[in-house]
Chain A
Amino acid sequence: MSLLEMLGYYNYCVFAIVLSVGMYGVIRKTNLIKKLIGLSIFQSAVFLMYITMDKVEGGTAPIIQAGVEDQIFSNPLPQVLILTAIVVGVSTLALGLALVVRLNELYGTIEEDEILDAD
């Protein structure tokens, strides 16, 4: 694959990079809040992938306008799907943060290694 072709897949490259950054955060960080931030970045990468694949060149939102013929529409289905996935992501993050609050109340710290040492 030539460099030019790679550049054509610009969005997918960003997807891969953001995905790896998020995963690095989840695995490497010991602070629980930072882990959750990593998880959020990880999920956002997937949103980008879905949004990228529905884009049709020159396409707009699928709304029929009077007097406009031959309008090209982007595929709305992946957008709807990812709307659901965003809701799921937000609830997961909220639950994760609630857990961190409880952990902080019970253990007095949000560092993973200190919590593991405490028991």
Chain B
Amino acid sequence: MELNDQLPALQVVVPLLVAPLVVLLQPRGLAWAAATAAAATSLLIAITLTGTVLSQGSVSYEMGGWSPPYGIALSVDAFSALVLLVVTGAATAALLAGRNSIDQQIEPQRQPLFYAAWLLALAGLVGIVIAADAFNIFVFMEISSLASYVLIAGGPDRRALPAVFKYLIMGTMGATFYLIGVGLIYMMTGTLNLADMADRIGEVADLKPVLVAAGFITIGLCLKAAVFPLHVWLPNAYTHAPHMITVFLAACATKVALYVLIRFEFYVFQPNMETHQVRFSLILMSMAVLAIVVASAVAMFEGHIKRLLASSSVAQIGYIALGASCITAAGVSAGVVHMFNHALAKGGLFLAIACLATRCADLRLSELRGVAKRMPWTTAALVVCGLSLIGVPGTAGFISKWMLITAVLGQGTWGWLLVAVIVVSSLMAVVYVWRIVESLYFGAPVETNTGRQEAPLQLLAITWLVALLNVGFGLFPQLPVTLAEQAAVLLMGSAA
């Protein structure tokens, strides 16, 4: 038995086991170091698994040697490998960078518990991605959600509490809807394993319970993924969370729910249910277009920099959903690449905001005027990631927008309208990123003290690393694009 064969299990086990250990590490710094080491180990495992997937194809793992459909299976294919990279990468970057920011926001005696919750959230998110079993996905989803409620409420801002309460209610509703859907499918097929389910659901696909299950699962996961108009929990939760938690969750939490949605739709429902494609595409596409237009418009008028970017996140989720709703290989791969690229852009932006927050207490745009003179490196990193968010050529954001436009053009006459939506919303993104740049660079400074006051080096270095990755994956997009195209072939192959 080699260690390499155990990697899929270790991916979940490492953060899950280190979490209770971290609680015991009382001296300051030690808890941080242990949590960061665990996250970095997960990232290494994810990278190794991606390498294996690229060279040898999908990896599957039987828990305890019990073979599916009776045992519990884990599986890693190109799609899950990409999402694993996003999740573990975001956790590692945020933990590595976040020490000063977390010291500032969380009292020392609560820090070990805070890091433990963080590792539990990581274990849950990774577990969702790697599980090949519908009920395990539910359990991991709740582990990650419960941990992230704790994380968001952990900061000093009291407005986080009502926001978390709303998130808790809506998140639990979403998970329960998903549970109802899974229950109905189990009732009809007698299995929870996704591959087995895809095989068996064909015989009963025209019965009402399966249709109801599809509805419950889609709506439940859309709630978790904050697809417009089910996104109302997101802006407040992201705005008032501790800054490093915003970095972590904005980069990966909603994307993991979208991952489950795409996997369920393309793997289980579409190959087996007639007319499901049309229905799914129509509903998801209209929600996606609304998300893109409305959320971008809202972002143009937001006055708080974190809330502005949170609204923009809702719009970006719309892009991913739009790609998936095309039901073509090009559309799906565009959506999947955008998951990766948006995580880079938004993660970088929120890291830069964490840098700003170490020096500025108030993050409203009106209070941030002229900060560029005090923190030139931070604001420069923010601009680079902002350009990637807009989709300027040479940045990662451009690659996915370009793939998305190519994909929607294949949609016939409607395609041009969708292209118009993407172009208009990109212009809106120019407007809201410009509003940030304008107040940071051209506003009259609020404070008279104009001496250099950069963010702590550790934080700034990781921020720049992510900003440079935005450019790097813009110039050399092979890795995400190859994985996404393989993922699309896998997903569409089962749909065809």
A43→B150 contact, CB < 8 A? no
A88→B158 contact, CB < 8 A? no
A99→B159 contact, CB < 8 A? no
Contact of A99 among B139, B161, B172, B175 (CB under 8 A): B161
Contacts of A92 in B (CB 8 A): 142, 146, 168, 172
B176→A43 contact, CB < 8 A? yes
Whether a CB of chain B sits under 8 angstroms from the CB of A24 is no
B179→A95 contact, CB < 8 A? no
A95→B146 contact, CB < 8 A? yes
Question: Per-residue CB proximity of B153-188 to A under 8 Å, as 1/0?
Answer: 100001101101100110011011001100100110
A95→B168 contact, CB < 8 A? yes
Whether a CB of chain A sits under 8 angstroms from the CB of B115 is no
Once bound together, how far apart are the Cα atoms of A112 and B169, in whole Å? 13
Once bound together, how far apart are the Cα atoms of A95 and B120, in whole Å? 15
> What is the predominant secondary structure among interface residues of chain A facing chain B?
helix
Q: In the complex, which residue of chain A has the Cβ closest to the Cβ of B182?
A: A81
Contacts of B162 in A (CB 8 A): 103, 112, 115-116, 119
Once bound together, how far apart are the Cα atoms of A32 and B192, in whole Å? 35
B179→A39 contact, CB < 8 A? no
The contact size tier of chain A is 20 to 34
Question: Per-residue CB proximity of A53-71 to B under 8 Å, as 1/0?
Answer: 1000000000000000000
A85→B164 contact, CB < 8 A? no
Closest CB in chain A relative to B278 CB, distance in Å: 28
Contact of A107 among B138, B158, B175, B187 (CB under 8 A): B158
Contacts of A102 in B (CB 8 A): 153, 161
Closest CB in chain B relative to A20 CB, distance in Å: 13
B149→A95 contact, CB < 8 A? yes
Closest CB in chain B relative to A72 CB, distance in Å: 17
Also in contact, A88 and B142, with CB within 8 A (given A43-B176, A115-B162): yes
Contacts of A35 in B (CB 8 A): 169
Most A C-beta atoms less than 10 A away, residue of B149, B172, B192: B172
Once bound together, how far apart are the Cα atoms of A43 and B176, in whole Å? 7
A85→B179 contact, CB < 8 A? yes
Once bound together, how far apart are the Cα atoms of A88 and B186, in whole Å? 19
Contacts of B238 in A (CB 8 A): none
B169→A49 contact, CB < 8 A? no
**Besides A95-B149, A103-B161, A112-B162, 17 new A-B residue pairs in contact (Cβ under 8 A), listed by A number:** A32-B165, A39-B173, A43-B172, A46-B183, A78-B183, A78-B186, A84-B135, A84-B139, A85-B138, A85-B179, A91-B142, A95-B146, A96-B165, A96-B168, A96-B169, A99-B149, A103-B162
26 A-B residue pairs with Cβ-Cβ distance under 8 Å, sorted by A, are A26-B169, A39-B169, A42-B173, A42-B176, A46-B176, A49-B180, A78-B183, A81-B135, A84-B139, A85-B179, A91-B146, A92-B168, A92-B172, A95-B146, A95-B149, A96-B168, A96-B169, A99-B149, A99-B153, A99-B161, A99-B164, A99-B165, A102-B161, A107-B158, A115-B162, A119-B162
